[in-house]
């Protein structure tokens, strides 16, 4: 079988105007970026204001493994299959970061015959939203250091007199806003800035990857431009020397940041290999932020299609949980069904038996042990009161005996149904049975309920997550986290939902704890306030907001051939 980039390069895309017209988007509501992608104006929401929302399906997965479970493949394949059986469907996915594209993970366009095309345009730059987020974020970083410099240089009284601005009295040891870049670069995690006679004062800073920026989460959670502008103003950039928060509004930079992101608030429309529409918008990581595409893209798609299929990052303990407790909290739009993606490889790797590398051979013992992980994810999704369909993403080496055993075991769970998907190899034709079952699931009565209330205390929200999501017996807070918790309560942020930042490779905080860990302590090392995005991040374990490049990065394979075609993208 050809590589993803080869399949994409050989495919003749339809004009994106055709895709838009079929979906019900007017030409005046499009800003074209070439022939294959377009921004969609938010004015469309005014025209469609009276249209009711369609069915919403959220795709998640079992605990991830290095082999990939095929969540985006399933999202795209299911969208294509829905269209093939006569259902007006649309996908909504996140924009890939170039960090993973050139690192280890690769792109996020799907794969095989279930991908968004042209995949290289999706994976590289797209329509510039990530660049806009980076620029707006770094403007705020520059503004903080400039204000700090001038107030320190002139003194508080002289600064106020000469500038006409109220002094902020920034504490250089409590600047919370780092810089960002859309690449993996471990050497930038911690830096010192302000060296030189005219550049001080010297203080510690650093870089995060752009996907970790609070602005990326704000882009994903905003309902319109007014909401985006308001959220940017609420961002807490630093503390003053009395320990009080300094916001982007107080610094006077919020308006300029919003202007930089003016066009980024519009989602991008592309197409799948079969010509199904797909919105791409925002790209927060699920292990660092809330890990879902934008509320705006969902809102537009839900007014145009009959079924909208979106996905949350990593397993159901990560992106799906944050979809239910953070995204729904902001959008008010609840899902009608969920799809849990699983592979035989993933279950064997999560079994806790044998080497995680030896998963291609038939091994019913490991499969039986690993099944507990799938069962847990099914139970987890069911806990939210929505129907669950299991998509078994088939690999070529999978045996019929093991697939039959797995499907039979799934009938003994709370799942509404299951289907073997071959969307990667066959496109829409490989997922039509899955589409039929998911369509039936969306017709069932949904009784969606979040795990906790905004009125619950921060400790109560965390205990709910650690016990129900991660199987921990107890939650512990470091001294630093205890102090931060007191500050959050004192300043009125207790009502915000919790976004746990942890490894995706285990239900716990420790990637080495496989299967279904139980009876351990779940450690919170620190809290980070995202007042603009509207959630509190609780850091557990070792999570890097700036990844590093591995031993053999993906960029080694990427080039341009003699026909001016991009090659080597995964």
The pLDDT value given to residue 104: 83
Q: Based on the fold, state whether residues 397 and 484 are members of the same structural domain.
A: no
Binding region: 65-72
Q: For residue 131, what are the contacts with CB-CB under 8 A and spacing of at least 6?
A: 125, 182
Judge contact between 328 and 450, C-beta under 8 A.
yes
The pLDDT value given to residue 469: 92
Structural element, H or E, at residue 179: strand 179-181
The pLDDT value given to residue 373: 97
Give the chain's length.
Answer: 570
Q: Identify whether 566 is preceded by a cis peptide bond (ω within 30 of 0).
A: no
The pLDDT value given to residue 353: 86
Residue 554 lies in a domain: no
Rounded CA separation 390/405 (Å): 14
| Angle separating helix axes 129-154 and 214-221, nearest 10 degrees | 130
Pairing, β 388-393 against β 89-93: unpaired
Q: Based on the fold, state whether residues 319 and 437 are members of the same structural domain.
A: yes
Residue 516 burial (C-beta neighbours within 10 Å; 0-12, 13-18, 19+): middle
Q: Based on the fold, state whether residues 351 and 418 are members of the same structural domain.
A: yes
Q: Based on the fold, state whether residues 373 and 513 are members of the same structural domain.
A: no
Pairing, β 535-539 against β 498-501: parallel
Q: Based on the fold, state whether residues 277 and 399 are members of the same structural domain.
A: yes
Rounded CA separation 41/39 (Å): 7
What DSSP letter does each residue of 471-514 carry, written as one string? Answer: --SEEEE-HHHHHHHHHHHHTT-TTS-EEEE--SSSSSS-TT--
Rounded CA separation 181/130 (Å): 9
Q: Based on the fold, state whether residues 286 and 427 are members of the same structural domain.
A: yes
The residue whose two tokens read 């930038």 is 188
Query: Which residue range forms the structural domain that includes residue 166?
Result: 129-254
DSSP-based three-state secondary structure for 418 = strand
What is the pTM (predicted TM-score) of this model?
Answer: 0.96
Q: Based on the fold, state whether residues 435 and 468 are members of the same structural domain.
A: no
Q: Based on the fold, state whether residues 366 and 278 are members of the same structural domain.
A: yes
Q: Based on the fold, state whether residues 71 and 207 are members of the same structural domain.
A: no
Q: Based on the fold, state whether residues 100 and 157 are members of the same structural domain.
A: no
Residue that finishes a domain, picked among 220, 254, 288:
254
Binding region for ATP: 65-72
The pLDDT value given to residue 355: 72
The pLDDT value given to residue 356: 67
Rounded CA separation 294/92 (Å): 8
The pLDDT value given to residue 111: 96
CA angle 229/301/57 to nearest 5° reads 110
Q: Based on the fold, state whether residues 409 and 268 are members of the same structural domain.
A: yes
One pLDDT digit (tens) per residue for the chain, 570 residues: 899 999 999 999 999 999 999 999 999 999 999 999 999 999 999 999 999 999 999 999 999 999 999 999 999 999 999 999 999 999 999 999 999 999 987 889 999 999 999 999 999 999 999 999 999 999 999 999 999 999 999 999 999 999 999 999 999 999 999 999 999 999 999 999 999 888 889 999 999 999 999 999 999 999 999 999 999 999 999 999 999 999 999 999 999 999 999 999 999 999 999 999 999 999 999 999 999 999 999 999 999 999 999 999 999 999 999 999 999 999 999 999 999 999 999 999 999 887 766 788 899 999 999 999 999 999 999 999 999 999 999 999 999 999 999 999 999 999 999 999 999 999 999 999 999 999 999 999 989 999 999 999 999 999 999 999 999 999 999 999 999 999 999 999 999 999 999 999 999 999 999 889 999 999 999 999 999 999 999 999 888 999 999 999 999 999 999 999 999 998
């Amino acid at each position: 079988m050809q590589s993803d980039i080869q399949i994409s390069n050989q495919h003749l895309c339809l004009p994106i105007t055709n895709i838009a017209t079929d979906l019900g988007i007017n030409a005046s509501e499009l800003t074209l970026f070439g022939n294959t992608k377009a921004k969609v104006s938010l004015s469309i929401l005014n025209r469609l204001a009276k249209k009711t929302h369609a069915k919403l399906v959220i795709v998640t997965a079992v605990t991830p493994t290095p082999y990939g479970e095929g969540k985006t493949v399933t999202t795209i394949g299911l969208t294509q299959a829905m269209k093939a059986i006569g259902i007006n469907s649309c996908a909504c996915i996140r924009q890939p970061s170039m960090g993973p594209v050139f690192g280890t993970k690769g792109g996020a366009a799907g794969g095989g015959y279930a991908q968004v095309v042209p995949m290289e345009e999706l994976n590289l730059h797209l329509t510039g939203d990530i660049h806009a987020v980076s620029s707006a974020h770094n403007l705020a970083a520059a503004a903080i250091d400039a204000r700090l410099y001038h107030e320190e240089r002139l003194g508080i009284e002289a600064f106020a007199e000469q500038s006409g601005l109220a002094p902020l009295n920034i504490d250089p040891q409590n600047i919370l806003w780092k810089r960002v870049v859309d690449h993996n670069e471990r050497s930038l995690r911690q830096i010192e800035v302000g060296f030189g006679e005219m550049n001080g004062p010297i203080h510690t800073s650093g870089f995060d990857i752009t996907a970790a920026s609070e602005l990326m989460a704000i882009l994903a959670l905003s309902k319109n431009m007014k909401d985006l502008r308001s959220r940017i103003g609420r961002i807490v950039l630093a503390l003053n020397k009395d320990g009080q928060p300094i916001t982007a509004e107080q610094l006077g930079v919020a308006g300029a940041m919003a202007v930089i992101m003016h066009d980024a608030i519009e989602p991008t429309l592309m197409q799948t290999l079969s010509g199904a529409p797909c919105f791409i918008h925002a790209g927060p990581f699920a292990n660092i932020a809330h890990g879902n595409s934008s509320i705006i893209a969902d809102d537009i798609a839900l007014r145009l299609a009959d079924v909208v299929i979106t996905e949350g990052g990593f397993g159901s303990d990560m992106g799906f949980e944050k979809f239910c407790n953070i995204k729904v909290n902001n959008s008010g739009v609840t899902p009608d069904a969920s799809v849990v993606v699983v592979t035989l490889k993933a279950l064997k790797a999560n079994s806790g038996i044998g080497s995680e590398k030896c998963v291609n051979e038939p091994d019913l013992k490991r499969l039986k042990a690993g099944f507990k992980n799938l069962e847990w994810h099914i139970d987890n999704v069911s806990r939210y009161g929505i129907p669950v369909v299991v998509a078994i993403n088939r690999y070529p080496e999978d045996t019929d005996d093991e697939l039959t055993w797995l499907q039979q075991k799934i009938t003994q769970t709370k799942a509404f149904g299951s289907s073997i998907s071959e969307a990667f190899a066959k496109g829409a034709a490989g997922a039509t049975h899955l589409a039929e079952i998911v369509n039936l699931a969306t017709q069932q009565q949904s009784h969606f309920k979040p795990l906790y209330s905004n009125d619950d205390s921060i400790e109560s929200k965390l205990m709910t997550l650690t016990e129900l999501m991660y199987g921990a017996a107890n939650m512990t807070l470091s001294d630093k986290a205890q102090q931060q918790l007191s500050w959050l309560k004192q300043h009125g942020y207790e009502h915000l939902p919790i976004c746990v930042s942890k490894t995706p490779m285990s239900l716990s905080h420790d990637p080495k704890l496989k299967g279904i860990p139980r009876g351990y302590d779940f450690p919170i090392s620190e809290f980070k306030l995202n007042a603009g995005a509207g959630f509190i991040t609780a850091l557990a374990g070792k999570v890097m907001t700036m990844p590093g490049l591995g031993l053999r990065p993906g960029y080694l394979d990427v080039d341009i051939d003699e026909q001016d075609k991009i090659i080597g993208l995964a």
